Structure 1
């Protein structure tokens, strides 16, 4: 497999957010050092695949490419070669590739793949529900509808910003649905057992359409959710958050498990929960048991769990549209802002990227949040559409 073929595959994986850390570094390295070769598609060739595409503005291209460069695991901003013409060309190619993948093009000329596929952009404004057979349905917050399985059977009801699943559905096997919440939105689910789940922006939850009497109630979370778990002593409720399991019988708590964070946080409002490794068997005498008003943090690197008393309101204010930062680095705050306001932030000022902040806001416009940080650290930023560049 030649280098160009490899980088084409990596570019597709990168834009779909499927790259490992090593693969991201390969993409960054390619843009930094590799010269364009004859068989790599030109900007014109890429644009020709989608017909009359609006002209890509330099601002947008620079924002996308700068974001790619900032994905490197190195904390400092990567320097760019002084050849300005190459920089423009690389930026335009990166931007064009993003456009291609975000609207689901059937690739021609063998670029990336020869198979036609529909790609839903993770930064789009659509809430999507994936059925067991892979079928994807778009959930509109302005309508009501019935939720059906692949055979057309009604399994729940959708009413604007909430889906309620039916416990009387005659399902005998474990069948999963997966809901994805885009940046800028929140959503609610009522699972078949009566458990209420509030889902934050940028969150994916996989869950059974109906919990079976012969098994524990288990769901799989990436992102952030607040759970109000229906009590059932015979069937513990287990949230799998990658390498961490959270086990409850009936309680109120928040789980934050975004992939870019160094730890998974569980904040208990009411009841009791146990925290333990995903490959472990729950043992109440050995595992970490949280009490109300405490936060348990699972360190993904060393696999340890620390607990401390907290004000739970800080960690659940997002349900009401608020924002809270507690001992949070600015780079992580930027990710929170991206999710809440559905924007792309490119921070080119690394002087305070790792500086820690404490702040709380109600449901405020983004300009007010940026003004707060601008008062502390005077910086220049400009915005166009949903791109924000911090100088």
Structure 2
């Protein structure tokens, strides 16, 4: 970060919770190694911005942040001694952030009212439900569980592979739960508005226990999910997939946002979908509007969006046990097979890693999938317990 504009941009992303893990580390490193005085807002200004953030459009947040920076630059540097007449304390953002952040990531809890992330092993066998306060509840696919809020009120009921949230229960404020699906499993979730979500293996979804009147219905996805969204023209439903927002009023669509993929894919089965960057305000005249039977792809590297007609069943077959690879590198196929079957795959054939393949399977075992690759592509392997060795 060599210029003020780069510093400002990165700090803005940090405060609006849009930094990647690498960018967060850059912010923390910069704060630790720099004597920050005149280019940064006060702690109070930052907290005000963050408190307003959930109700704020990105454009408004950008304007406020620019004003904060401009004001900070115009102010003279003020002494921190409590007996000084001017009580507006300019604490370096480095000190304030590092004290509040601890090791760097707790800011989500302090500033954005999010719980600290609970470590989760996707190779475990447990489906985990994380509450707003960070407490967790284990979900058994064959069990029955009542989900309670912090006051002991029942807000949802789980029966087998489906968790249903009550339409009227819960607070009149936004309270979030997070559902984490391990490798080798799928799960269904019915949100408080009646929206049905199918969650694929290795997926995390953060969602409100109850949607609030007058507010957008927004959820946060890492992984893959198929959404059957309840129609509500007054309350747009928005899926946040990192840097991409997917906006609908009521429709059926699939979102795939796994970390190994260069693209975030949205496949529309029915209705209409708007795709736009998460730091922008939706504009139907400017943003990409997806039609049924099309796939919209968001390039994570350059933030471009392109569309193409597809056979939607290929991309939604996973709901019924299907598995599809389209022009996919073998190293990414390995990751998806590990996620789907909860196995460990060791590839000793380095030439295979970047080769691309096309394949489709119905509900097949990992033995049958590997047998196909051996027969068609001559890929030699051995299977022992849950480990596959590719020679």
Answering whether residue 388 of structure 2 is matched by residue 383 of structure 1, we say no
1:384 positional shift:
2.2
Aligned partner of 1:297 in structure 2 is: 297
- CA shift digits 1:208-249 (9 cap, x unpaired): 000000200000000000000000000000000000000000
Give the superposed CA RMSD: 1.9
- CA shift digits 1:169-227 (9 cap, x unpaired): 14111000000000000000000000000000000000000000020000000000000
1:20 positional shift:
5.1
Aligned partner of 1:234 in structure 2 is: 234
- CA shift digits 1:85-142 (9 cap, x unpaired): xxxxxxxxxxxxxxxxxxxxxxxxxxxxxxxx98542210100000000001100011
| C-alpha distance in 1 between matches for 2:283 and 2:118 | 44
Aligned partner of 1:306 in structure 2 is: 306
| C-alpha distance in 1 between matches for 2:24 and 2:285 | 39
Aligned partner of 1:182 in structure 2 is: 182
Change (3 A) 1:207 1:329: same
- CA shift digits 1:4-23 (9 cap, x unpaired): xxxxxxxxxxxxxx975999
Answering whether residue 363 of structure 2 is matched by residue 363 of structure 1, we say yes
Aligned partner of 1:143 in structure 2 is: 143
Aligned partner of 2:83 in structure 1 is: none
Aligned-partner SS, 2:180: strand
Change (3 A) 1:20 1:375: farther
| C-alpha distance in 2 between matches for 1:376 and 1:20 | 40
Contact 2:149 2:170 in 1 (8 A): no
Q: How does 1:242-321 map to 2 (within 5 A)?
A: 242-321=242-321
Q: How does 1:40-119 map to 2 (within 5 A)?
A: none
Aligned partner of 2:98 in structure 1 is: none
Aligned partner of 2:195 in structure 1 is: 195
- CA shift digits 1:300-348 (9 cap, x unpaired): 0011001000000000000000101111111111111111101111212
Contact 2:255 2:265 in 1 (8 A): yes
| C-alpha distance in 1 between matches for 2:154 and 2:321 | 32
| C-alpha distance in 2 between matches for 1:120 and 1:288 | 34
| C-alpha distance in 1 between matches for 2:320 and 2:340 | 12
Normalising by structure 2, we get a TM-score of 0.69
1:151 positional shift:
2.3
| C-alpha distance in 1 between matches for 2:120 and 2:307 | 38
Aligned-partner SS, 1:316: helix
Aligned partner of 2:68 in structure 1 is: none
| C-alpha distance in 2 between matches for 1:133 and 1:22 | 23
Aligned partner of 1:52 in structure 2 is: none
| C-alpha distance in 2 between matches for 1:142 and 1:329 | 36
When the two structures are aligned, how many residues end up with a matched partner?
A: 281
Normalising by structure 1, we get a TM-score of 0.69
- CA shift digits 1:55-83 (9 cap, x unpaired): xxxxxxxxxxxxxxxxxxxxxxxxxxxxx
| C-alpha distance in 2 between matches for 1:261 and 1:21 | 19
Aligned-partner SS, 1:185: coil
Residue ranges of structure 1 left out of the alignment (5+ in a row): 1-17, 24-116
1:266 positional shift:
0.1
| C-alpha distance in 2 between matches for 1:21 and 1:353 | 28
Aligned partner of 1:134 in structure 2 is: 134
- Which portions of structure 1, spanning 4 or more consecutive aligned residues, are displaced by more than 3 angstroms? 18-23, 117-120
Answering whether residue 200 of structure 2 is matched by residue 166 of structure 1, we say no
1:356 positional shift:
1.5
Contact 2:153 2:170 in 1 (8 A): no
1:150 positional shift:
2.3
- CA shift digits 1:262-286 (9 cap, x unpaired): 0100000000000000000000000
1:380 positional shift:
2.8
| C-alpha distance in 2 between matches for 1:119 and 1:200 | 19
Contact 2:139 2:145 in 1 (8 A): no
| C-alpha distance in 2 between matches for 1:170 and 1:208 | 10
Change (3 A) 1:309 1:212: same
Aligned partner of 1:114 in structure 2 is: none
Residue ranges of structure 2 left out of the alignment (5+ in a row): 1-19, 26-116
